[in-house]
Amino acid sequence: MFPTYIHFVIVVRSFSFILQMRPPFVGSTILVLSLFVCCSSSTDGNIKTEKTLAIIKPDGLLGNYTDDIKKTIVEYGFRIFKEKIVQLDEATVKSFYAEHSSKSFFSSLIKYMTSGPVLVMVLEKDNAIADWRALMGPTDASKAKITHPHSIRAKCGLDMQKNGVHGSDSPKSAQREIPFFFNELSADVIAEHDEL
């Protein structure tokens, strides 16, 4: 199987590292090893990947963080499998966040999520769900700024609700959330999620 873009990023990073190394023979050895590792695949020719839903929320999109977030996504080895910009209406937000309907913040959540367009993406890589959640950082962006200062929410978010991005919190949530926005991608399990 030909290496994916993810593997290309690894090679480019290795090559930029090599340019800074001395003597050149050491760097050459590392480049050869990187190429060998990135181009290998499993014995049956399949590379198993996982998909997760990612949303750049209105504050992320309108705050001009989109390009930086997408660049970070690719740099961390994700492939953007599908993406689209949508303007959510009240009914869609109510349906997507239905499990929060009895909570005090539900009406402000609806107002916030309908305040501007969002970028919805399906991200793909090994361990995509956990890795995307780690890259996003804690739900409360104000806490993320202290505990995870390099996370997306620390850089782009403001608080618990206006935290810049959303990600599926489990495989079951991903199976529900991906077809919610991308009808062509079917799901076998529909489950609730508890992440904002």
Alpha-carbon gap, residue 162 to 141, rounded angstroms: 8
Q: Residue 140: which of 119, 162, 125 has the closest Cα?
A: 162
Question: How far is 86 from 119, CA to CA, in rounded Å?
Answer: 6
Contact 138, 151 (CB under 8 A): yes
Out of 7, 100, 148, 166, which one is annotated catalytic? 166
- Specify whether the backbone of 187 is left (phi greater than 0), alpha (psi in -120 to 50) or beta: beta
Supply 69's token pair. 């977030």
How many secondary structure helices (H) and strands (E) does the chain include?
10, 4
175 contacts 163 by C-beta, under 8 angstroms: no
Structure tokens at 126: 């090994």
Q: Which helix (H) or strand (E) holds 17?
A: helix 5-19
For residue 166, indicate whether it is catalytic. Answer: yes
Q: How many residues does the chain have?
A: 196
Q: Which residues are catalytic?
A: 166
